[in-house]
């Protein structure tokens, strides 16, 4: 039976079903509802875990590091500034090959400070050695959470479940929660070989030298690449158990005979589907493709999706400042390696919670390709204003300037009001 659940509640229920023994976190919007719910589960005796209120996200990540190294399945969650504060520990967890699982409730990174959703936080730590899975819906957050523990523990690599802040964490959707019994059948009990134990003393995290450091990284990279087949296989197995899948590595939508394909990640896919449906109805040969697994980068699975495609547009909610779209750059490299010569347009949008509506997506589809490597997505309000001809105050929505832009903000504010 489906339940109407906020994304945070849904993911907390999924975590409870996986029975972590240690939960450590530090509050940050929009992640907080997840750990509040877990704290309540522990308080009610519904989750038999140690709930540790960390003194910072750096501490929270370190606590789950220690807990997993001591043989306890663990959980933490964060977002934005908190994820960046964890960065040093994230690299360390991955380097120690500890199967830690966490949720990143994707949020913009300041300055200017902004609590709303984009992918800048998790993209900033994309090279830390974590598997990154971007979910589209609350249902998928639940299902990916359960898969994440199985992937992490099978591969001895940490997994970051990335779910859009507010758009998912604070949005209610009908969600089917698996039963504890079926989760137990799918997800084996926690097992980890390199546990801190006086019976088998082991040194973890010792110093390394130039003659072997690179081999550690080669092993880590190889292990990451090997998880591609594991992620696929565990999604198939999940469907056998629960009757649903999470979209494997990449999830195509109406790619049949599509000549223009838009690529995106996370909850954005919903709006992309709507836009594709409308454009298809109008007779345009468009399709969409969601990258569910961004790390490891599914180059082969991705490039196989573009047979007969003449135009690829990557719409992404993060920017490598001074370089442009990150997914676009990686896709270009993958296509070039595969000998595919389709031009990839990079569009940056949805930053700091700016809405990427079907209208915006349709407009992007309809824009002519530019000579620039990257361009920014149009604003929904400006688009709809233009369409309706209504010159109300809505024209200023979204134009909140940062400190360096006060003057232009004033000018802009001044204009319509005389």
Q: Which stretch binds other proteins (CB under 8 A): 33-41, 84-92, 152-160, 346-354?
A: 84-92
* Residue 195 Cβ vs other proteins, minimum distance, rounded to whole Å: 8
Judged by CB under 8 A, how many residues of this single chain contact other proteins? Answer: 46
Q: From the list 198, 222, 339, 414, which residue makes contact with other proteins (rule: CB under 8 A)? A: 198
Looking at residues 87 to 116 of the shown chain, list those that interact with other proteins (rule: CB under 8 A): 88-89, 92, 96
Q: Report the alpha-carbon distance of residue 134 to residue 143 in Å, rounded.
A: 12
Length of the chain equals 418
Q: For 144, phi and psi rounded to 5 degrees? A: -70, -35
Nearer to other proteins, 52 or 291 (CB): 52
Report yes or no: 20 and 67 within 8 Å, Cβ to Cβ. Answer: no
Report yes or no: 318 and 268 within 8 Å, Cβ to Cβ. Answer: no
* Residue 56 Cβ vs other proteins, minimum distance, rounded to whole Å: 6
Q: Which stretch binds other proteins (CB under 8 A): 21-29, 137-145, 154-162, 236-244?
A: 21-29
Which distant-in-sequence residues (6+ apart) come within 8 Å of 109 by Cβ? 80, 81, 84, 120, 121, 124
Burial class (CB in 10 A: 0-12, 13-18, 19+), 388: exposed
Nearer to other proteins, 115 or 195 (CB): 195
Report yes or no: 387 and 358 within 8 Å, Cβ to Cβ. Answer: no
Should residue 27 be labelled a site residue for other proteins when binding is judged by CB under 8 A?
A: no
DSSP secondary structure letters along 325-369: -HHHHHHHHHHHHTT----EEEEE--GGG----HHHHHHHHHSPP
Should residue 341 be labelled a site residue for other proteins when binding is judged by CB under 8 A?
A: no
Report yes or no: 71 and 192 within 8 Å, Cβ to Cβ. Answer: yes
* Residue 401 Cβ vs other proteins, minimum distance, rounded to whole Å: 34
DSSP secondary structure letters along 82-132: HHHHHHHHHHHHHHTT---EEEEEE---PSSP--S--SHHHHHTTTSS-EE
> In the stretch 44-83, what mask flags binding to other proteins with x, by CB under 8 A?
----xxx-xxxxx-xxxxxxxxxxxxxxx-x---------
* Residue 293 Cβ vs other proteins, minimum distance, rounded to whole Å: 27
* Residue 208 Cβ vs other proteins, minimum distance, rounded to whole Å: 6
Q: From the list 10, 22, 105, 228, which residue makes contact with other proteins (rule: CB under 8 A)? A: 22
* Residue 147 Cβ vs other proteins, minimum distance, rounded to whole Å: 23
Q: Report the alpha-carbon distance of residue 216 to residue 189 in Å, rounded.
A: 28
- Tell me the Cα Rg of the chain: 22
Nearer to other proteins, 55 or 390 (CB): 55
List interacting residues with other proteins (CB under 8 A).
21-22, 24, 48-50, 52-56, 58-72, 74, 88-89, 92, 96, 196-198, 200-209, 211-212
């Amino acid at each position: 039976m489906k339940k109407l659940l906020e994304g945070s509640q849904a993911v907390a229920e999924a975590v409870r079903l996986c029975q972590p023994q240690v939960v450590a976190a530090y509050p940050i919007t929009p992640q907080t509802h997840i750990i509040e719910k877990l704290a309540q589960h522990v308080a009610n005796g519904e989750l038999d875990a140690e709930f540790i209120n960390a003194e910072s996200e750096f501490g929270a990540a370190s606590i789950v590091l220690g807990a997993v190294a001591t043989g306890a399945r663990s959980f933490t969650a964060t977002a934005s500034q908190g994820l960046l504060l964890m960065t040093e520990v994230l690299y360390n967890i991955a380097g120690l090959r500890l199967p830690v699982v966490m949720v990143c409730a994707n949020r913009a990174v300041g300055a200017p400070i902004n609590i709303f959703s984009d992918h800048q936080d998790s993209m900033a730590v994309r090279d830390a050695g974590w598997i990154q899975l971007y979910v589209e819906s609350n249902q998928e957050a639940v299902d990916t959470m359960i898969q994440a523990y199985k992937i992490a523990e099978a591969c001895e690599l940490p997994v970051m479940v990335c779910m859009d802040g507010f758009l998912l964490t604070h949005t209610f959707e009908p969600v089917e929660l698996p039963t504890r019994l079926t989760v137990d059948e799918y997800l084996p009990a926690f097992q980890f070989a390199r546990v801190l134990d006086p019976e088998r003393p082991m040194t973890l995290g010792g110093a390394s030298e130039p003659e072997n450091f690179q081999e550690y990284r080669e092993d880590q990279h190889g292990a990451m690449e090997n998880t591609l087949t594991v992620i696929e296989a565990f999604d198939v197995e999940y469907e056998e158990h629960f009757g649903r899948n999470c979209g494997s590595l990449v999830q195509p939508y109406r790619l049949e005979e599509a000549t223009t394909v838009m690529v995106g990640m996370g909850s954005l896919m919903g709006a992309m589907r709507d836009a594709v449906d409308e454009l298809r109805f109008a007779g345009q040969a468009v399709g969409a493709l969601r990258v569910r697994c961004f790390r490891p980068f599914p180059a082969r699975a991705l490039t196989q999706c573009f047979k007969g495609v003449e135009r690829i547009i990557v719409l992404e909610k993060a920017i490598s400042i001074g370089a442009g779209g990150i997914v676009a750059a990686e896709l270009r490299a993958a296509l070039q390696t595969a000998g595919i010569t389709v031009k990839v347009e990079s569009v940056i949008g949805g930053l700091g919670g700016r809405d990427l509506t079907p209208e915006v997506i349709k407009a992007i589809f309809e824009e002519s390709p530019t000579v620039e490597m990257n361009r920014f997505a149009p604003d929904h309000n400006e688009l709809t204003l233009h369409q309706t001809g209504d010159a109300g105050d809505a024209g200023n929505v979204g134009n909140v300037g940062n400190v360096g832009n006060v003057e232009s903000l004033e000018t802009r504010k001044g204009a319509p009001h005389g």
